[in-house]
Amino acid sequence: MKFKETDTNTKLLGFLVVVITFYILGSLILKEPKLSTTSSSFVAILTGLYVMFTYELLKETSKQRKQNIQPTFAVDIHRNFVEIKNVGNGPALDTELVLELVPLNGDAEEGKTETSDLDIPAGDSIEFRQGPFDSFGANLSMGTLPNIDLHLRGNYLDVHENREEIRSRTYDLDPYRDKNYPISRNRN
């Protein structure tokens, strides 16, 4: 989809260059006031379109630049801990994470672990070893864990010191029961 938009924008830019070239040549060759007024109006409209095109291009470039330095989190479940890893290209500063077990029926108790003020550089991770997560992977693989889901939420400061929310995500653990660990990385 983005390729088609870029292709259309490139065609529009080429069209603008051709029209402006013809306008300049027409102004130099033809001196009639009616033709000059018409072509000036046409060029004014095309200039407006060019400004809109340039603005859209600027927004897209800004969005791509932000994504290149944005942290991204992944969850790995091991036998004795749950690992949250920053797999993005940028650091997550002053990070607050909440990892919780969400019961799907009345059989399980809710478990929750919170962290705050963590700096997680790109490629680094934190491990949740306390509370309900100390034998989480082993219990899940043996089938002794009640019917629950794993939920991750939180926020961080990016390199421009903007507070960003981590996309809240719930991991359905049913497909991973009776599997070997670590569970393949779930991208967030």
Strands 186-187 and 82-86 turn out to be unpaired
pLDDT at position 1: 41
Query: Could you say which DSSP state residue 123 is in?
Result: T
pLDDT at position 116: 76
Residue 24 sits in which domain range? 2-68
Q: Are residues 120 and 41 in the same domain?
A: no
Q: Name the residue among 69, 124, 72, 132 with its Cα closest to residue 99.
A: 132
pLDDT along the chain (188 residues), means of 10: 57 74 69 68 80 88 84 81 86 86 67 78 85 67 70 84 83 64 49
Q: Are residues 64 and 130 in the same domain?
A: no
pLDDT at position 75: 85
Number of domains observed in the structure of the chain: 2
Q: What is the mean pLDDT of the chain?
A: 75
Q: Are residues 57 and 81 in the same domain?
A: no
Q: Are residues 46 and 82 in the same domain?
A: no
End-of-domain residue from the set 51, 68, 85: 68
pLDDT at position 32: 66
- pTM here is 0.57
Total Cβ atoms within 10 A of residue 55: 10
**Chain segment 28-51, per-residue pLDDT in tens:** 666 666 666 777 777 788 888 888
Q: Are residues 58 and 96 in the same domain?
A: no
End-of-domain residue from the set 42, 68, 94: 68
- Whole-number Å distance between alpha carbons of 91 and 165: 14
End-of-domain residue from the set 68, 97, 113: 68
- Residues with Cβ within 8 Å of 171's Cβ and at least 6 positions away in sequence, in order, are 75, 149, 150, 151, 152, 186
